[in-house]
Every structure is written in structure tokens, then in C-alpha cells.
Amino acid sequence: MKKCTVQAVADAVNRLAPRKLAEDWDNPGLLIGDPTAEVKKIFVCLDVLDNQISRAIELDAQLIVAHHPLIFHAIKNIRYDLPLGNKISRLIKNNLAVFAAHTNLDSAEGGVNDVLAKKIGLNDIKMLGDEEISMGRLGTLETPMTAADFARHVKKCLNADNVRLVDAGDFLIKKIGVCGGAGADFIQKAKFFGAQAFVTGDVKYHEAQAAVENKIHVVDAGHFYTEFPIVHELAEFLRGELENFDVEIFEDTSGKNFFTTI
């Protein structure tokens, strides 16, 4: 078996989600660590939080591969008494590298949005629009549904605690747009390309209002639930890509939504 390095893992992730697909404002890639460092255990997760760092340390992992970047903006200080500085300190002290694939993994074929579309049972999945690569996806249901039935279907498929439905009128839906995370910016585009409903997270009041006015149902299943399925799929992808390397891959199963419904 070949020795695995941080760079070998980065190369594997980049084959799925090339860096060039990332949005200009994003910060994917190697955020902490040495690309030449040896890796025997990898921990795959959605967010680099205290619990995920603790789990990676328990596993004696050398690398965390996450969807959301730990560091987005320039850092002017690393204070151990503040959340980000404390996490960076723990990671460095435990020789844990961090690599992130964010909007590049959203847009990539086989990435966040393809996984989401398949998870909710869509067929004939295509890019959202006439672009070669896009953030969102379009697909079709096997059988048309009412908005309420579709919302219940999404909730069940994503194992979500709850979803929010923006009901745009009394019509059945078959063609669906999706964008995991905060994808409300794509609702109008999905409508333009024929979608009767859209699945995403983090929908705001006026975005919901606009959806009703444009006669497109929206199911807000939350940022977490629309993206968490990528964790398992990314881990499975890495297991295949790194099968000839001496490395074990673990995935986060304890991640949870920050919101609860009271």
C-alpha cells in the first residue's frame, strides 16, 4: 500500500470538485496543515466544530475534510479564548490538517446538489439552466404531487425534523429545482426554466413573497439537512479514490442542525 499524504487527499477531492468551480468569495482548499504530511486517518464532516475536532482527535486522524471552510476571511489574530482561535489552536496542537471543498463541491457533478436531487428522488437530473456547470439542479418527480405532499416527502427523504413550505397556489408539481444550503437566489432562475417547486434552505421572508408572486412552491428544508448528505457520499468517493493508499476514512454521523422547533 502506498503512503498517503495531505496532498494526495487534496488531489482526490479536486478530481471531484475542481478548485476552479469555486465562487470568487469562497475559500476552499488546504486551510491548515502541511501538504507533504503523512495521513493514515481522515475524518469527513460538514462543519469543523468543537465536537468534530474532538472526534477526529479520538480517532487519531491527521486530516479533516469538510464542506464548510473553517477560515473564510483574513485573520488578524489567533486568540485561544475565542472560538475560532481555540479551534485553530487545538488543530495545530494535535497535528490535524483541514481541507475544505465548498462552492466547488456544490457545483461539481456528483457534488452537493446532485446528491440532494437524488436523495429526494428526482429523475432526469440536469444543470440549472443552459450552463455547462451551475450551482443548482433541475429534475423531475416520477409522479406529480401537491405542494404539501412534496414538502412531507422532502422531510422524510432528508430525515429532517421539520421543513417550511411556501405554498404558491393550487397546482401540482413535477419539475423541481434544488440548491443545497442558502440557494434562494436561484428560485427565479428555476422558475424561468420550468420548475414548479424549489428545494433549498435559509429562505427569507421577501424571498418567499417573491416565490408566491411568481407561482413557484418552495420547500425550505434548512441549510444543514440539504447539505449533510454530502458527508457520506464524499467519504465513499474518497474510499474509492484512495483504495491503493494506506489510509482509513471515517465520516461524521453526529452532526446536527443548529435549529430546533419549539
- For residues 33-48, average pLDDT: 98
Share of the chain above pLDDT 70, in %: 100
Closest CA to 102 of 57, 63, 71: 71
Q: Identify the pLDDT of residue 16.
A: 98
Asked if domains 6-105 and 109-226 share a fold, the reply is: yes
Task: Flag whether pLDDT at 131 surpasses 90.
Answer: no
pLDDT in tens, 65-123: 999 999 999 999 999 999 999 999 999 999 999 999 999 999 999 999 999 999 999 99
Query: Are the CB atoms for 186 and 103 separated by under 8 Å?
Result: no
Burial class of 99 by CB neighbour count within 10 A (0 to 12, 13 to 18, 19+): buried
The pLDDT assigned to 251 comes to 98
Q: What are phi and psi of 219, to 5 degrees?
A: -110, 110
pLDDT of residue 130: 82
Under the banding of pLDDT at 50, 70 and 90, the label for residue 205 is very high
- Element at 80 (helix H, strand E): none
Reported residue count of the chain is 262
How far is the CA of 160 from the CAs of 156, 248, 259, in angstroms?
Answer: 7, 29, 11
Topology adopted by domain 109-226:
3.40.1390
Average pLDDT for the chain: 97
For the chain, which residues make up each domain, given as ranges?
Answer: 6-105, 109-226
> What pTM does this model have?
0.96
Residues 68 and 106: beta-carbon distance below 8 Å? no
**Residues contacting 107, CB < 8 A, separation 6+:** 17, 21, 113, 133, 134, 135
Q: Sorting pLDDT into bands at 50, 70 and 90, what band is 167?
A: very high
CA–CA separation, 250 vs 225, rounded Å? 20
pLDDT one-digit tens code per residue, 224-239: 999 999 999 999 999 9
Alpha-carbon distance 118 to 134, whole Å?
16
Listed in sequence order, the DSSP H helices in 94-123 are 103-107, 112-119
**Class of the 6-105 domain?**
alpha beta
